[in-house]
Every structure is written in structure tokens, then in C-alpha cells.
Structure 1
Amino acid sequence: MDAEIELKLFIQSQHHDLLKKVLNNYPNSTPQGQKKLTNGYFDTDDLQLRRWDMGLRVRGFDNQLEQTIKTAGRVVGGIHSRPEYNVSIDHKTPNLSLFPKEIWPIGNDLESVSTSLACIFETNFQRQTWHIFINDSLIEVALDVGEIIAQDRVDPICELEFELLAGDTSALLILATEVAKSVPLRLGKASKAQRGYQLAGKSQPVRIENIDYIALSKDNNLAQTFSTILETALERWQLIENNLTTATDLQQQSMLWGKLRRCVRLLRLTLDQFGLLNQHISPLFDKLEHALQFVGPLQSCSLLLRDDGNQLGNINNKTLVCQQLQNHINSMSISTQLGDIWQQPEYGQLQLALVDLLLRTENGQLQWHDYPELSLFANQLQQASWKRIGKSMPITSEMNSVDYQYVAEALDESILVGFAYGEMYQAKKRETFRAPWQDLALGISTLSAYKILKTLDEQHQLNIEAWLDNKETSLLFAMEHSRKSALKAPIYW
């Protein structure tokens, strides 16, 4: 058995030459050449191997054939750790009896599984490799370019793998981070096998519609809590990103971009709470936050266009107004935003820095000895964000549209704190307290939408000024009532 530990990253094809130059010139790097790999992935029609959390592959290379089975493992960020068993064979059809008997679940019907195997999909690609020594560790870097093929469906392969051959896992991230300073990269959670099953219609990508509270236990220590929040947010980030690559509906895109930004903001907030938002990581967050500036206007415009413009009610020139809102959205170039963000080296650098913090925490290298126990820590965070809200929007003050825009960031942070630690509290009290504040956040987004409409009205003479004034006045009246009621509500922590 081999214990495979590798970091999977995605790279865009236009950066191949730059990557090869960087790796060829890297200190203690030895190019290993390239080879063509053909791979058939096998399973039963009812996916018995997948249900056992196993993956079976027959690989062809250099006139040789090798069957491999990978058993249950773990993915942390983009680092995949999974036991695998390799056996040389003479035929393209795998023989399960050649693997060790002890790897199979108790009570299995291995003979029935063997006779039911079929090739579900193929992954065929050119692999170019380098061996690099770094910090007494040996890493194999592999650039894979090719295709996943499932019947008449094809999906491109364009990824980079850093596999630990000897030494310490931390060397993977050290080397990847150095490469990411020159070449735009991003974490790759989905393996070729996962993508292949999806392409073959044998599994569905995980859809992010409603994001649950993070599953924290009051029994967890702070290191476990930090690790759980960080790992959960990183995983959701990658899932949302994957969903964005296939989303075409405006409302779905708006929802996903909003959730991606919330994941990024939650990660930044968590690092700040644990004293880890240093001078290296903070600018990386700043760069990404700047790139996501379009998300707020996108959400505001899509809010008005939802349900065929139902929010616009009896507005004059409704068709024209909707068209101008759509034109405004088109000017944001939503379809290219994700690709443009991937082009920024800071994007992958931030993801790798977060994975590094996660691994260091799990290895016991990060500790918080001077922090209180978790329940008290969570209460203190909730109270601090609550005080900030109370100070920024005192109950005795009247607030207008500009005032609400000014406090939007503080409100968003407070909602995120409650989201991160909310699972630790009684659900009914928590939701009763949070509901009006979430309504206020929605109100602020609507006010932002009205501001956009005012600008469009000035530019295109839409004749909606009176309607806008009336809607804003009514909304502010409702928001003020909700805010003052919410400020009097008993806290749940």
C-alpha cells in the first residue's frame, strides 16, 4: 500500500508556458519529461465501489498496464490524502482478487462485484513532471493536460498536482506558494474521478442553495473550532466556485456570488478574531474584496428584477426600467468575472495561505493559550459585534439611506459572527433575534438598488423620481421600526 498525499491545483491553459519556465528554473528542480497516460475508471452499474468510498482505475503508460484502487481518504483544503494499492496487470480489465483481501468491507460479495464491473469513463492526458527538493523533502510536480471522456461527453483536464514523495507535508504548501507568486493557481477539490462520475451522469455536483450554520460543539477547544470554521468555509468556497462555472440564471448567479463573498468575509473575520490576520494575508483579502465590488450592485439589481420585476410594482415605464437594469448588469461583465479573478495570483496565494493555517492548526503548531473556553469566547464575540451595532445605529437616532449604507459592513460582520457560532445556541431564540437584522440587511440592499435606479433615471430620463422617493420613504419607515424593535430584543447568548 502507498499513502498518497498530494495537493491538487487548477491552472488555466494560457499559463502553461509560464509554469514550465518557473518549474524548470526552480532551485533543485529536475525535469522528468512527459508521458501519455490513459485511464479507465471502473465500477458496477449501481456504483458499489463508490458506495464503499473506493475508486478503481486501470492506467496505461509506456506499454504497461497497472490497476489501482484508492480507499477512503480525506481532503483538507486542496490536499488529498488517500491510501492506494497498485498492481501490474496484463489486460485492460481489472482483477479485484489481486488486491489485498483485508481492504474489502466485511460481508462483501466480491465475485458479484467483479463480474459486474464496467468502464464508466476515461481520463486521458499528457503528464509532464518535475522532481523538486525543498526543505529536505522531495516533491513530484505533475502538469496534466487532456480530457475526461464519458460516452459522447468531454471535459478538459488542466491541473497541477504536487505529490509528496518523501519528507513533510508542509513542503507541498511551501513549494506551491512559491509557484503561485508567479503563476495564477487555485485549489482543486474535485478529483479527476469525481469529475468523471459527474460527467457520466453517475453523480450530481453538490449544489449550494442554503448554507447551514457551521457545526460546532461546545465541547470543542478553540483550535478545533478554528479548524472547523476554516475547513468548512474553504470547502464551501470551492463548492460555490464550482457552481458558478455552470450557473446561467441571473438570480442563481447573484445568489452564488453573494455566498462566495460571505465565505471570504467569514474567513477574514475568523482570522482576525484569532489574531492571525497578519501583514501577509490581509492584503490578499483586500485584493479579493476589491475584485468582488460588483457583487453588491449585482445583488441589488437582481433583487429588483426577481419574479419578473415584481418589486417594481406599478412603476412608470416598467419594461424600459427593467431593460436599463439589465443593461447595468451587463456592464458588470458577470460572465467573465470568475475567469478574471482566477487570473489574479493573489487569489491562489490566499487559498494556499488558508490551507497552510489549517494544516498548522491540525498539527498542533497553532495554539491559543490565553483565550477563554469556547462558550465564553463565542459570547464575547457576539457581544462585541452587538456593541458595535448599537454604537453605530443608536436607538435614539433617526437614520436615512446614507446612514444605513454606512453601517452595512458592521451589520454584515455581526450577522456573520452569529452565523459562525449560531449552532451553539438555542435555535428558536437565535432565529427570533437574528430575523429583523437580516431583514435590515435586505432593506439596505434594496436601498442600494433605489440608488442605482436614481442614477439610471438621471442618465435615461425614466421619469421615476416620484415613485423612487415614495418607495424609499416607505422602506425607511419600515426599517426604522424594525431596527428600534430589534435593538430592544433580548440577546440570546
Structure 2
Amino acid sequence: MDAEIELKLFIQPQHHDLLIKILNEHPNSTPQGLKKLTNGYFDTDDLQLRRWDMGLRVRGFDNQLEQTIKTAGRVVGGIHSRPEYNVSINQKTPILSRFPKEIWPTANDLDRVSTSLTCIFETNFERQTWHIYLNDSLIEVALDVGEIIAQDNVDPICELEFELLAGDTSALIQLAMQVAISVPFRLGKASKAQRGYQLAGKSKPFSIEHIDYVGLPKNNNLPQALSTLLETGLERWQLIENILTTSNDIDQQSALWGELRRCVRLLRLSLNQFGLLNQQTSLLFDHLERALEFVGPLQSCCLLLQDGAKMLANINDKPLVCQQLENHINSMSISTQLMSIWQQPEYGQLQLTLVDLLLTTENGQHKLDNYPELGLFANQLQQSSWKRIGKLMPITAKMDSGDYQHVANALDESILVGFAYGEMYPAKKREAFRAPWQDLALGISTLSAYKILRLLSERHQLNIETWLDNKETSLLFAMEQSRKSALKAPIYW
């Protein structure tokens, strides 16, 4: 048995030649040549191996055949760690009896599984490899270019894998960081097998019906809480990416971009709370935040158009107003935003930095000795956040549209604090406290939408200023009532 530990990165084909040049010229790099690999992935019609969390393939290379089975493992960020068993064979269909008996679940019907195996999909690609020494570690770098094939469906492969052959896992991150200076990439959570099952229609599509509160450890262990926050943020970030690559619905895309930005902000907030947000990492977050500036306007426009644009009832020339809003959304080039952001090296650098912080946290390198236990720490964060909001929007102040939009980010951060630690508190009291603040956040998004409408009205002579004035006045009145109610609500921590 081999314990495979690798970092998987997705790259764009246009960076292929640059990447090869960098790896060829890297100090202590020894090119290992190019191989053509053919791979058939097998399972039963009822996906028994998948349900056992196993992946089975037969690989062909250099006129040889090898069967491999990978058993249950773990993916942390982009680091894949999974036991695997490799056996040479002389046929293109696997022979399960050649694997060790102890790897199979108890009470298995291995004979039935063996006779029911069928090839679900194939992955065929060229693999170019290098061996690179970094400090006291040896890393195999593999560049795979090809395609996944499931009947008539094809999905391209262009990914980079850093596999640890000897030494410390941190060397994978160090080497990837060196490459990331010049080559844009993103973390690769989904393996070729996962993508293949998806392409073959054998697994459920990625979806986020509702992102729930973070499930923090019950033992009040602060380092474990930090690890959970980082891992949850990274996992959801990559999941949202995967859904965005296949989504064509603008309302869904708007919601997904909002959740992605929320994950990024949660990660930044968590690092800051634990004293781990240095200047370099902060600059990377700033860069991504600027790249996501379109998200707020996108959400505001979609808010106005949802449910048949019912928010625009009784407006003059509603079809024309809706058309101008749709034109405004089209001007944001939403369909190309993800690819554009992926082309920025800072994107992958930030993801790698977060994986590195996650690994060092799990390895106990952040002692957090001067911090209280988790329950008290969460209470302090909640109290500090609530006091900040109270100072920014005191109960005696009268706030207008500009005032509310000025405090939007601070309110968003306060809501995120409650989101990160909310599982630690009674749900009924927690939700009663948070509801008016979330209503205010929705109100601020609506005010932003009205601001966009004013700009469009001026630009295209829509003549809706009176309607906007009335709507804004009515909304501000309701928001003022919600704010005063929220500031008087009893705290739940």
C-alpha cells in the first residue's frame, strides 16, 4: 500500500508552455519525460464501490497494465491524502481478488461486485513529470493534459499535481508558491474520478441549497475551531466555484457569487480574529475583494428583477426599466468573470496561503496560548462586533441612504461573526436577534438597487425619480424601525 499525498491545481491551457519552462528551469529539477496514460474507471451499476468510498481504475502505460484501488481518504483545501493499492495485471478489466482482503468492508459480496463491474468512464491524457528537491523533501510534479470521456460527453483535463515522495507536506505548498508567482491557477478539490462520475451522470450535481452555520468543535478547543473555520471556508469556496462553472442562470449566479464573496470574507475575518492576518495576506484579500466589486451591483439588479420584477410594480414603462436593468447586468460580463479572476495569480496565491495556514494550524504550530477558551472567545467577538455596530448606527441617530450604504461592510462583518459562531448558541434566541439585522442588510442592498436605478434613469431618461423618491422614503422608514428594534433586542451570548 502507498499513502498518496498530493496537491492538485487546475490551470488554463494557455499557460502550458510557460509552466513547462518554469519547471524545466527550476533549481534541482530533473525532468522525467512524457507518458501517455489511458485509464478506465470501473464500478457496478448501483455504484457499490462509490458507496464504499473507493475508486477503481485500470491504467495503461508503456505496454503495461496496472489496476489501482483508492480507499477512503481526506481532502484538505487542495491537499489530497488517500491510501492506494497498485497491482500489475495482463487484462483491461480489474481482478478484485488481487487486492488485499483486509481493505474490503465486512460482510461484502465481492464475487457479485466483481462480476458486475463495468467501465463507467475513461480519462486519457499525457503526463509530463519532474522530480524536484526542495530542502529535504522530494516532490514529483506531474502536468496532465487530456480529457475525461463518458459516452458522448467530454471534459478537458489540464491540471498540475505535486506529489510528496519523501519529506514534509509543507514542501508541496512551498514549491507551488514558487510556481504561483508566474502561473495563475486554482485549487483542485475534485479528482479526475469525481469529475468522471459527474460527467457520466453517476453522481448528484453540485448544489448549495442552504449554507448552514459552521459546525465548530464541541470540546471548546480553540485551535480546532480555527482549523474548522479555515477548512469550511475553503471547502465551500471550491464547491461554489464548481457550481459557477456549470451555471447559466443569472439569478443562481448572483446568489453563488454572493456566497463566494461571503466565504472569502469569512476566511479573512477568521484570520484577523486569531492574529494571523499579515500584510501580505491582507493585500491578497484586498486584490480579490476588488475583483469581486461587481457582486454587489449584480445582486441589487437581480433583486429588482426577481419574481417577475414585482418590486417595480406601478413604475412608469416597467418593460423599458427592466430592459435597462438587464442591459446593465449584461455590461458586467458575468459569464466571463470567473475565468477573468482565475487568470490573476493572486487568486491562487491566496488559496495556497490559506491551505498553508490550515496545515500549520492542524500541525499545532499556532498555539493560541493567550486566548481564552472557545465559548468565552466567541462571546467576546460577538460583544465587540455588536458594540461596533452600535457606535456606527446609534439609536439616537437618523440615517439616510448614504449612511446605511456607508456601514454596509461593517454590518456584513458583524453578521458573519454570528454566522461563524452561531452553532454555539440556542437557535431561537440567536435567530430572533439576527433577523432584524439581516433585514437591514437586505434593505441596504435594495437602497443600492435604487441608486443604480437613479443612474439608469438619468442616463436613459426613464423619468422614474418620483417613484424612486417614494420607494426610498418608505424603505428608509421601515429600516429605521428595524434598526431601533434591533439595537434594543436582548443579546443571546
Aligned residue number for residue 55 of structure 1 = 55
| Aligned: 1:320 with 2:297 | no
Residues 64-79 of structure 1: pairs in structure 2 closer than 5 A = 64-79=64-79
Question: Counterpart in 2 of 1:18?
Answer: 18
Cα distance between partner residues in 2 of 1:208 and 1:17: 36
Q: Which residue of 2 aligns with 1:223?
A: 223
Counterpart in the other structure of 2:280: 280
Corresponding residue for 1:352?
352
Give 2:365's aligned residue: 365
Question: 2:306 matched to which residue of 1?
Answer: 306
Deviation at 1:218, TM superposition (A): 4.0
The answer on whether the counterparts of 1:34 and 1:128 sit within 8 Å (CA) in structure 2 is yes
Structure 1 residue 217 displacement after superposition? 3.2
Q: Does 1:137 align with 2:137?
A: yes
**Residues of 1 paired with 2:444 and 2:19: CA distance?**
44
1:135: Cα distance to partner? Answer: 1.1
Matches within 5 A, 1:29-40: 29-40=29-40
- Write the distance in 1 (CA, Å) between the matches of 2:431 and 2:218: 19
Tell me, yes or no, if the aligned pair for 1:37 and 1:125 is still in contact at 8 Å: yes
Counterpart residue type for residue 211 of structure 1 = I
How far 1:208 sits from its partner (Å)?
1.2
Are 1:204 and 2:204 counterparts?
yes
Deviation, 1:205, is 2.9
2-side partners of 1:76 and 1:313: how far apart? 48
Corresponding position of 2:424: 424
What SS does the aligned partner of 1:359 have?
helix
SS at match of 1:122: strand
Name the structure 1 match of 2:487.
Answer: 487
Partner of 1:188: 188
Deviations 1:402-424 (A, max 9, x none): 00001111100000000000000
Residue aligning to 1:153: 153
> What displacement does 1:141 show?
0.4
Letter of the 1:4 partner, please give it: E
Say which SS state the counterpart of residue 332 (structure 2) adopts.
coil
Indicate if the aligned counterparts of 1:125 and 1:147 stay in contact, CA closer than 8 A.
yes
Q: Which residue of 2 aligns with 1:379?
A: 379
Quote the residue 1:103 is aligned against.
103
Q: How does 1:329-478 map to 2 (within 5 A)?
A: 329-478=329-478
3-state SS of paired residue (2:230): helix
Q: Structure 1: how far apart are the matches of 2:213 and 2:378?
A: 14
Distance in 2 separating the partners of 1:205 and 1:168: 35
- Alignment match, 1:28: 28
Moved more, 204-213 or 335-344: 204-213
The letter for the 2-side match of 1:90 is N
Count of aligned positions: 493
Shift of 1:297: 0.3
Superposed CA deviations along residues 53-100 of structure 1, whole A, max 9, x for unmatched, are 100000000000000000000000000000000000000010000000
8 Å contact from structure 1 (residues 11, 160) kept in 2: yes
| Contact in 1 for aligned 2:220/2:375 (Cα 8 Å) | no
Distance 2:318 2:218 in 1: 52
- Stretches of structure 2 that go unaligned for 5 or more consecutive residues are none
Whether the 8 Å CA contact 1:122–1:148 is kept in 2: the answer is yes
Q: CA deviation at 1:349?
A: 0.3
Q: Give yes or no for contact 1:139–1:165 (8 Å, CA) kept in 2.
A: yes
| 1:366 Cα deviation from its structure 2 partner | 1.3
Q: Which amino acid aligns with 2:487?
A: L
Q: Tell me, in whole angstroms, the C-alpha distance in 2 between the residues paired with 1:168 and 1:375.
A: 34
Q: Secondary structure at the match of 2:279?
A: coil
Give the whole-Å Cα distance in 2 for the aligned partners of 1:205 and 1:33.
36
In the alignment, the residues of structure 2 paired with residue 220 and residue 46 of structure 1 have an alpha-carbon distance, to the nearest angstrom, of 41
SS where residue 280 of structure 1 aligns? Answer: helix
In structure 2, C-alpha distance between the alignment counterparts of 1:450 and 1:106, rounded to whole Å: 62
Q: CA deviation at 1:209?
A: 2.5
CA offset at residue 446 of structure 1? 0.2
Query: What RMSD in Å do the two structures reach over aligned CA positions?
Result: 0.6
1:172 counterpart residue number: 172
CA distance in 2, matches of 1:98, 1:278: 51
Check the 8 A contact 2:217/2:224 in 1, yes or no. no
Deviations 1:259-317 (A, max 9, x none): 00000000000000000110120100000000000000000000001011111111001
Deviation >3 Å, runs of 4+: none
| 2:114 paired with 1:114 | yes
Matched AA of 1:95: I
Whether 1:232 aligns to 2:255 is no
Structure 2 residue matching 1:157: 3-state secondary structure: strand
Give me the whole-angstrom Cα distance separating, in 1, the residues matched to 2:287 and 2:169.
Answer: 28
Counterpart contact for 1:227–1:358, Cα < 8 Å: yes
SS of 2:280's equivalent in the other structure is: coil
Residue 213 of structure 2 aligns with which residue?
Answer: 213
Quote the Cα distance in structure 2 between the aligned partners of 1:182 and 1:281: 17
CA contact (8 A) 1:218 1:374 kept: no
2: CA distance, partners of 1:55 / 1:242:
21
Instruction: Provide the C-alpha distance between the structure 2 equivalents of 1:294 and 1:112, rounded to a whole number of angstroms.
Output: 54
Q: Give me the whole-angstrom Cα distance separating, in 2, the residues matched to 1:154 and 1:466.
A: 54
Q: Tell me the distance in 2 between the aligned counterparts of 1:190 and 1:5.
A: 15
Contact persistence 1:11–1:158 (CA under 8 A): yes
Q: Secondary structure at the match of 2:123?
A: strand
1:217·1:424 contact (CA, 8 Å) conserved in 2?
no
Q: Is the 8 A contact 1:8 1:161 kept in 2?
A: yes
Q: Deviation string for 1:205-227 (max 9, x for gaps)?
A: 33013100000134131100000
Residue identity opposite 1:115 in structure 2: T
Greater shift, 436-445 or 202-211, is seen at 202-211
Unaligned runs of 5+ in 1: none
The amino acid that maps onto 1:365 is: Q
User: Structure 2: how far apart are the matches of 1:486 and 1:218?
Assistant: 29
Q: Name the SS of the counterpart of 1:290 in structure 2.
A: helix
